[in-house]
Structure 1
Amino acid sequence: MTNDPWRPPSTPISDRDSRQRAYNRQDRVSHMHRSPTRMGRLIAFLVGIALLMVGLSLAFPVGSAADPHFVRALIILVIFGGTAAFWSRSSLWRLARFAGVWILLILGVASFYLYRSDFSGRFMAALDPSAAMTTDEGLLVHRSRDGHFWLRAELNGVSVRMMVDTGASNVVLSPDDAERVGINNGILNFDGRAETANGSVRFARAQVETFGVGSAVLNDVPVTINSAEMRGSLLGLSVLNRFSSFEFRGDTLILRP
């Protein structure tokens, strides 16, 4: 058979061209299979957002859904999170794990922010149980390990650790604490006498200009100074009654200004 001079010469198909065509066909097939997977990721993300909103509303029901900042944050999360979930090539299981970690972090930060005063009070109580913590409910004093309520007061600007004693009618200072707050024991007249569990003791009367407990500051508070050594000074009813109320609730003393 003679060759047609007007027919262009046939060129053999190279291996490179065949591989390129096969890759193009495989890419089209994989793209067709990936599209439903992306849609499934988007649906899973939206379901996760709905569950997150339900969980937040149950955990923090006090008007959180009506907060404009809360709504704005959810909108931003839906936009960027949905885009990332739709275009990500990671598996659904891997996306779910990352989403779970972020949800736990968000809930942890939100819980700490909402209850930061309670966390701070417990932390400071562990460091110094005698420190009075200022809260919305009042001044909180935690029970010490010895079973008593000790608090740290500021008498004339000097810190004094005192035991709360509802059986004492006045503030009773030990001789050492009286000297520390500026009361000269040498010029006091110990003409008073009181009966205690340890017997009869003499005491003197004096006054401190400022008496601070937590954020509460009292002025011109009368005190008595014991003539004998004491384990610690006592905070009695003369100061407790200056608060609007005080309450012993379990291991916590609540002083309401």
Structure 2
Amino acid sequence: MNGSDGVNLVWLIGCLVLVVSALSVRRMSLNMLVRATLGWAAIILVVLFAVAHRYELAAAWSSLSNRLGLEEQQAEGSTVRIRMSADGHYWARVKLNGVERNMLVDSGATVTAVSQDTAKSAGIQPADGLPAIIATANGNVAAQRGRIADLTLGPLKMHDVGVVMSASFGDTDVLGMNFLSRLHSWRVEGNVLVLEPVRPTAGTETSQRN
């Protein structure tokens, strides 16, 4: 083997080493990419499942919390007490025409508001007439007006409650001041929201339209 052949052999071996090294690095990167892709796919599937079955999951969690004594909403006679959630808000378990939803209790909202999905499930029909203009965090939005025939929050029962509905509300349902104002009183004690019903007296109407 002459010197020229030796140099060519060295170059050939060097090239082979570089190719093998490149393939090894690429193979490792591909494995990592596959694992990362599968991981994100699993996360996306879990999120999609949770969104699609959010109401069933909420009901299951409520049932489990009740069994473990962790229930955030409790009734003491005709008074309802709701503990503050981890997000700093008060969420009430409410039935709208018999359909159960978790609703945000918001004293800053003038009127009770529900998503279109909730309105459809509860059979809340939009009323005729001009839409209501509602101020939201994203600006003013137009919403359809309607009436909730029966609203139940534990032992608290109301009839013919005004409501607005719009796709712009997303999935959040809100109990507003037109609900709170029909109570005898509502207040916050520590981190617990206390809702007390009107005490009926002889000759006094126990409910009013809002």
TM-score (structure 1 length as normaliser): 0.47
In 2, distance between residues paired with 1:229 and 1:171? Answer: 11
* Runs (5+) with no aligned partner, structure 1: 1-122
Higher RCO, Cα 8 Å, sep 6+ = 2
- Pick the structure with more strand per residue: 2
Contact 1:142–1:253 (8 Å) recurs in 2: yes
Q: How many residues align?
A: 132
Percent identity of the aligned residues? 30
Q: Which residue of 2 aligns with 1:232?
A: 172
The DSSP-based 3-state class of the residue aligned with 1:228 is helix
Compare CA radii of gyration and give the structure with the larger one: 1
Instruction: In structure 2, give the amino acid aligned to 1:171.
Output: T
CA separation in 1, counterparts of 2:88 and 2:77? 25
Counterpart amino acid of residue 105 in structure 2: V
Letter in 1 for 2:189: R
Which structure features the higher share of helix residues?
1
Which residue of structure 2 lines up, in the alignment, with residue 254 of structure 1? 194
- TM-score if structure 2 supplies the norm length? 0.57
Task: Please provide the CA RMSD for this pair.
Answer: 2.2
Q: Which runs of 5+ in 2 are unaligned?
A: 1-64, 198-210
Equivalent position amino acid for 2:134 in 1 = A
In the TM superposition, residue 138 of structure 1 has moved relative to its aligned partner by 1.7
TM-aligned CA deviation for residue 232 of structure 1: 1.1
Give distance in 2, aligned partners of 1:137 and 1:224: 27
**Could you list the per-position Cα deviations for residues 79-109 of structure 1 after superposition, in whole angstroms to 9, with x for gaps in the alignment?**
xxxxxxxxxxxxxxxxxxxxxxxxxxxxxxx
Residues 22-50 of structure 1, C-alpha deviation per residue, up to 9 Å, x if partnerless?
xxxxxxxxxxxxxxxxxxxxxxxxxxxxx
Aligned counterpart, 2:33: none
Instruction: State the shift of 1:136 in Å.
Output: 4.5
What is the CA distance between 1:191 and its match in structure 2? 2.1
Q: State the Cα distance separating 1:162 from its structure 2 match.
A: 0.3
Q: 2:18 corresponds to which residue?
A: none
Specify which of 100, 111, 124 is matched with residue 159 of structure 1.
100
Q: Distance in 1 between matches of 2:170 and 2:90?
A: 16
